[in-house]
Structure 1
Amino acid sequence: MTNIKDIALGALEDLKGKDIVALDVSEMSDVMDTLVICTGTSNRQVKSLADNVVEEGKKAGVRPIGVEGKEQGEWVLVDYGDLVVHVMLADVRSFYDLEKLWSLTPTGRQ
């Protein structure tokens, strides 16, 4: 069975993506299980990193549900359903701080 998480991580590493993290968000989301976040050093690299994830997935027979943000190249999202890959410029990643956002434990209603 094809493991898209491993394929995505390998594709990001191949093109020298920075600060690659994979977060298990299965306990916080009914929509996805894994969130992968990576930093690119330029708009061109952000686009290239996202393209490489898509291309390596296609080689393994897995196509994304959607790709968003390639036009600007500041933040590209590649959606595989259970896995969502975010490739971002450093300042965008710092501003949105998805790692912190997705590490918050939901509080119950009181």
Structure 2
Amino acid sequence: MQSEALVKLVETELDVRKGLNIKTIDVRGKTSITDFMVIATGTSSRHAKSLCDYVVEKVKENGLQPLGLEGDQSSDWILLDLGDVIVHVMTGQARELYQLEKLWSVSGDAARA
């Protein structure tokens, strides 16, 4: 699956499952670890974990195997490594604290809704 198609699949699943403030950052040329980062907010740590679980399920349905998952039911930040796409699902407090969009965006228009 192409990176862009995987991003769309992740964005759609997060949206369907009520993820908030979903942003995708194109980090090609900024890092060699991935092509895109998708960041979303869960309403609670439990919701954040559920969002990642649903994304994992959808990715597997499409024949892909996630490379890793960091964080658990009580985590404020869960990272899902899909290779070309890394998914960050955070509580609102964690997202405000770490400000990943600001960290990875060179210009204000680098993140897309």
By the TM > 0.5 criterion, same fold? yes
**Does residue 28 of the first structure (1) align with residue 23 of the second (2)?**
no
Helix, strand or coil at the partner of 2:105: coil
CA shift digits 1:64-95 (9 cap, x unpaired): 10000124231110001111000000000000
TM-score (norm 1): 0.89
Distance 1:16 1:23 in 2: 20
Q: How many residues align?
A: 105
Q: 2:11 maps to what in 1? A: 9
2:45 to 34, 43, 46: 43
Distance 2:10 2:105 in 1: 21
State percent identity of aligned pairs.
Answer: 43
Superposition RMSD on alpha carbons, in Å? 1.4
TM-score (norm 2): 0.87
- Structure with greater Cα Rg: 1
Unaligned runs of 5+ in 2: 108-113
Distance 1:65 1:31 in 2: 12
Q: 1:61 maps to what in 2? A: 63
Unaligned runs of 5+ in 1: 106-110
Amino acid paired to 1:74:
D
Distance 1:102 1:44 in 2: 26
Q: 1:108 maps to what in 2? A: none
State the 1:6 CA deviation: 1.3
State the 1:19 CA deviation: 0.2
Amino acid paired to 1:84:
I
Helix, strand or coil at the partner of 2:55: helix
**Does residue 77 of the first structure (1) align with residue 83 of the second (2)?**
no
User: Given that residues 77 and 85 in structure 1 are in contact (C-alpha distance below 8 angstroms), is that contact kept between their aligned partners in structure 2?
Assistant: yes
Q: Post-superposition, which runs of at least 4 consecutive aligned residues in structure 1 deviate over 3 A?
A: none
Helix, strand or coil at the partner of 1:4: helix
